[in-house]
Amino acid sequence: MQRLIRTYNARLLSHPYSTKAAGTGLTYVCSDLTAQAIERRQHPGSSAGGSALSAERALKFGAVGGFWVGPLLTYWFQLMDRIVPGRSPRAIAVKMLVDQTVQGPFMIGTMFAWCAVLNGASPAAIEAKLRTELYDTWVNSVYVWAPVQIVQQAVVPLQYRVAVSNVVSYFWDTYLSLQMMPPPDEAEPPVALHARPADGAAAGAAAPVAAMPAAASTRAAPVLLRRMSTERPPKVPSGS
């Protein structure tokens, strides 16, 4: 164990960004696999409740963590310590406030966007996702991360802050995966409403029958009544 810690510390000194990015990416993969397991327990009857977990989905979420969140958090922690140095109560309060009001919404919003792009969402769908879910997710993040950031800034050395964040992130990112990564049913492209009937199928069975609008039927009623009143009744043959 001590050897592993020494190796990790050496990697932090020689390759800080790639080491922290790899740890964040691995955390995100584990979080998404956990989220998939939760989805399968909640929806056992759907295709999301199948037995196999999606490695592709987990790797997509892991890529967001490894190539975006990890490097961004590394730079962000360094920037905050440069702008607001020290561990006084005032410095800690300023860092926590800036972290939650600037970095928090930006990070969550960009994660929503990256996850949606990797799942093939359109720009309109991404905008709708952000409009409906970003604010509530950010508010929940404040409840989780504000206390964590206070402890981080007060007692955790700078080089270990991303690693400590990853420990908490396992649980938080499981929640984010449930919010950001759609189940398989939602990820599949929608089926066209007016599909061409299969070969050999009756065309009339596939084509919907449009109902007559109420206004049209109201206008047609007087015409039908006048026509019926002017028509002569058929002659009945007289008895012999």
Per-residue pLDDT of 80-137, as tens digits, reads 989 999 889 999 999 999 999 999 999 999 999 999 999 988 999 999 999 999 999 9
Interval 198-235: pLDDT, tens: 555 444 444 444 444 444 444 444 444 444 444 555 55
Position 238 scores a pLDDT of: 53
Give me the pLDDT at residue 225, please: 44
pLDDT at 196: 52
Residues in the chain: 240
Which token pair is 171?
Answer: 């649980």
Q: Are 110 and 102 in contact (CB under 8 A)?
A: no
Full-model pTM: 0.69
Query: Which has more pLDDT, 46 or 96?
Result: 96
194 versus 82: the higher-pLDDT residue is 82
pLDDT over 50 (residue 37)? yes
- pLDDT band, very low/low/confident/very high, at 153 (cuts 50, 70, 90): confident
Within its chain, how far is the Cα of 155 from the centroid? 33
pLDDT band at 9, cuts 50/70/90?
A: confident
The answer on pLDDT for 239 being more than 70 is no
- The 10s digit of each residue's pLDDT in 160-179 is 888 888 889 899 999 999 99
Residue 186 has pLDDT above 90, yes or no: no
Measure the CA–CA gap between 83 and 185, rounded to whole angstroms. 46
What is the residue type of 4? L
Q: How confident is the model at residue 69 (pLDDT cuts 50, 70, 90)?
A: very high
Task: State the DSSP string of 64-120.
Answer: HIIIIIHHHHHHHHHHHHHHS-S-SHHHHHHHHHHIIIIIHHHHHHHHHHHHHHHTT
**Mean local confidence (pLDDT), 17-34:** 92
pLDDT for res 216: 43
CB-CB contact of 53 with 104 (8 Å): no
Mean pLDDT for the chain overall = 78
